[in-house]
Amino acid sequence: MDEPVLLTGAGGRVGQAILRGIGDDYDWRLLDREPLPAAKVPDGVTDADRYVADITDERAVREAIADVGAVIHLAGDPRKTAPWDSVLRNNIDGTQVVMRAAAEAGVEKFAFASSNHAVGGYETDERTPDLYRPEDEYRLDGSELPRPGNLYGVSKAAGESLGRFYHDEFDMSVVCVRIGNLTKDHPPREYERGQAMWLSHRDCAHLFDRCLRATYGYEVVYGISDNDRRYYSIERAREALGYDPADNSGDYTFEGEPKPDRDTETNGGRYAAGADAADAPAEPNFPADPDAPSDDA
């Protein structure tokens, strides 16, 4: 892609996983509510390409989005316990501002960070915990209706609907990625649900790279690694985007340690060893969610 890519929420966990994986591959514009320290900014991103703004600030968003070819929209309140006034302002109103500005500016591709919480209601007492185990055949594939498990999930379902609208009205390519449980170096420890929806940092970067490179109309896909235990299908991400994940929570013990026969090469070579994205908070603009280690998408 020759045009710049705008990344909102660039300082958060997902943004940092993306930048540490494919930071050298694109001409980035980075937007966050707080100034980004140099350690979180790829080489080559100038001060002029860093925007400190709230995503509900229409003028600032339009300035940041001018002449970009694609948007990866991550910004918002990431807490699954976030109250309604916060998810309404930051996740729904903010997403509407960014999507509308992108559509009206003629942006070609828009990748929206949705969440597993948009479908958390499918995890009923009757289905769990078998749902999280390799032998269970139940799968969500992205064609099902949202079934939020909390108000945060409601906001993500609203974002998916906004994406459908702006695709239909403006022919903007929109992909909604229902992100699972993002952790670095190993899947969540001793957490069956988290291991079923694990998304490694390198697979996260690769998935959003495919969102920028592939040709699609409107898609809802699941953002998890190629886990043996999973209840989300990644087939649509493979077919529509060319997603080819490298990691599998089945290569680790329940305690999160690599199994002896696993190739433990650091990061699989997709991004530099020593780039410690674990230093990044879930989002720099909100209080830490006490459940963030197990649910940070």
Q: What are the DSSP calls for 6-23, one per residue?
A: EEETTTSHHHHHHHHHHT
Residues of each annotated binding site: 90, 115, 152, 156
> How far is C-alpha 172 from the geometric centre of its chain's CA atoms?
19
Contact 172, 108 (CB under 8 A): yes
Q: Residue 266: pLDDT above 80?
A: no
pLDDT value for 261: 79
Q: Is the dihedral of CA 274, 276, 277, 280 positive or negative?
A: negative
- Tell me if the domain spanning 5-279 has CATH number 3.40.50.720: yes
Nearest residue to 149 via CA among 178, 187, 176: 178
Question: Would the pLDDT of 279 be above 90?
Answer: no
pLDDT tens per residue, range 213-252: 999 999 999 999 999 999 999 999 999 999 999 999 999 9
Confidence grade of residue 16 (pLDDT, cut at 50, 70, 90): very high
The structure tokens 């099902």 sit at: 144
Q: Is the per-residue pLDDT at 268 higher than 80? A: no
Distance CA 133, CA 139 (A): 11
- Cβ neighbours of 27 (radius 10 Å): 14
CA dihedral 87, 89, 90, 94 (to 10 degrees): 130
- Kindly tell me if the per-residue pLDDT of 281 is higher than 60: no
pLDDT at 100 over 60: yes
Q: Identify whether the C-beta of residue 198 lies closer than 8 Å to the C-beta of residue 263.
A: no
> φ, ψ for residue 172 (rounded to 5)?
-80, 130
* pLDDT recorded at residue 1: 72
User: Residues annotated in the binding site for NAD(+), as ranges?
Assistant: 90, 115, 152, 156
Q: Tokens 């509900």 appear where?
A: 56
Q: What single string gives the DSSP state of each residue in 234-259?
A: -HHHHHHH-------GGGB-TTSPBP
- Catalytic residue at 218? no
How confident is the model at residue 263, as a pLDDT? 60
The per-residue pLDDT for range 19-52, each reduced to its tens digit, is 999 999 999 999 999 999 999 999 999 999 999 9
Calculate the dihedral angle through the C-alpha atoms of 141, 282, 293, 80, rounding to the nearest 10 degrees: -60
pLDDT at 82 exceeding the cut of 80: yes
Mean pLDDT of the chain: 90
**Each residue of 194-221: pLDDT tens digit?**
999 999 999 999 999 999 999 999 999 9
**Active-site hit among 51, 132, 152, 218:** 152
pLDDT tier for residue 265 given thresholds of 50, 70 and 90: low
Give just the sign of the alpha carbon dihedral 83, 88, 94, 99: positive
pLDDT at 51: 97
With cut-offs at 50, 70 and 90, classify the pLDDT of residue 2. confident
Cα–Cα distance, 173 to 167 (Å, whole number): 6
The share of the chain scoring above pLDDT 90, in percent, equals 87
The domain ranges of the chain are 5-279
**Cβ–Cβ under 8 Å, residues 157 and 148:** yes
